[in-house]
A = this chain, B = another copy of it.
């Protein structure tokens, strides 16, 4: 049999209540008693029963982190920063919490199911990262879930995701629109007029915002936005490769390709090279996010740096109640344009 609180109590010659209090440290216990209890715990190699404890105390030490793709460093970096703050092991003493990273794969159903699962576990907090799916019924369902979670005392934080009104959720949003605009303006400033755009999956807030920024820049400079210059895809390299070939087919005179993120941009680079085009002499390329590998590409990638780690850390602290939420429950986090080797003036044709 496994060791229980009662066993420890018996061994230490105290009541179970006392053992519980020693373990939780939330009630005065004489030093001598405490020590006796601690020794018994040690000798019996006792490990608290989490479920029982959670049931009795009506709280749990689980914190859920929802990500769209755990294999994508974009999410990995945020998750890592969050976890560090959640203070799983190694964090500050006291709150030893278990961070649960849940991989939704970008699927609305999975997202909902995970939220239910976390609700079932009475999670202490839930952090949703990355773009949301833009689909009215689903958005409503998620909002309802979030509201319910908040009502049940679970702290809900959105990190790199647009605010969810009326849910009580704190939102740390990336300024994808602004970043997208800045990026395209940089290219326009370089002299580009025929820019292809490789967007992410449709019905995703991130996709839409970045694209809106791109279009706003075009419009501001009186450049007509030919719909054929935008191709939708996924947020991965492969998608970037294929989309680039498609863009090239539609208009071989392109001088720049703006990608929805860095992985896509890398795919674009590969496609361009395979098509015999030089970067940036023939075609400039720009990404988004500034993931670690982007600086390693050859040429290194012009992109928009998102402070993933900082945002994640802040979200983690807010979720733990260790930092004040931003006023109004919403904060916008801006990206920073990183001009590097993959962008240059257009070729003269």
Contact = CB atoms under 8 A, between A and B. Distances in A.
Interface of A: 2, 45, 47-55, 60, 69-73, 75-77, 79-80, 83-84, 88-90, 96, 98-103, 105, 107, 109-110, 112-114, 116-122, 148, 152, 236-237, 263, 266-267, 269-270, 273, 292-293, 296-298
Contact of A100 (B71, B98, B122, B148): B98
Given A60-B51, A70-B83, A266-B293, A109 B122 contact: no
Contacts of A107: 90
Contacts of A53: 51
A53 B50 CA distance: 12
A89 to B, nearest CB: 3
Contact of A103 (B71, B79, B114, B267): B79
Q: Counting chain B CB atoms within 10 Å of each CB, which of A72, A148, A263, A293 scores highest?
A: A293
A52 B72 CA distance: 35
B296 A50 contact: no
A71 B73 contact: yes
Given A50-B120, A51-B122, A113 B88 contact: yes
A117 B98 CA distance: 7
Contacts of A55: 49, 51-52, 55
Given A50-B51, A73-B71, A296 B237 contact: yes
A99 B99 contact: no
Contacts of A267: 296
Contact of A109 (B49, B89, B119): B89
A216 B267 CA distance: 37
A45 B50 CA distance: 26
Contacts of A269: 296
A322 to B, nearest CB: 19
A54 B269 CA distance: 51
Contacts of A80: 69-71, 103
Given A49-B122, A120-B47, A76 B83 contact: no
A236 B77 CA distance: 14
A297 B267 CA distance: 11
Contacts of A266: 293, 296
30 contacts: A49-B120, A50-B54, A50-B60, A51-B60, A52-B55, A55-B55, A70-B70, A71-B73, A71-B79, A72-B73, A73-B73, A75-B76, A76-B76, A80-B103, A84-B103, A88-B102, A88-B103, A88-B113, A88-B117, A89-B112, A89-B113, A89-B117, A90-B107, A98-B102, A98-B118, A98-B121, A99-B103, A269-B296, A270-B296, A273-B298
Contacts of A54: 50-51
A101 to B, nearest CB: 4
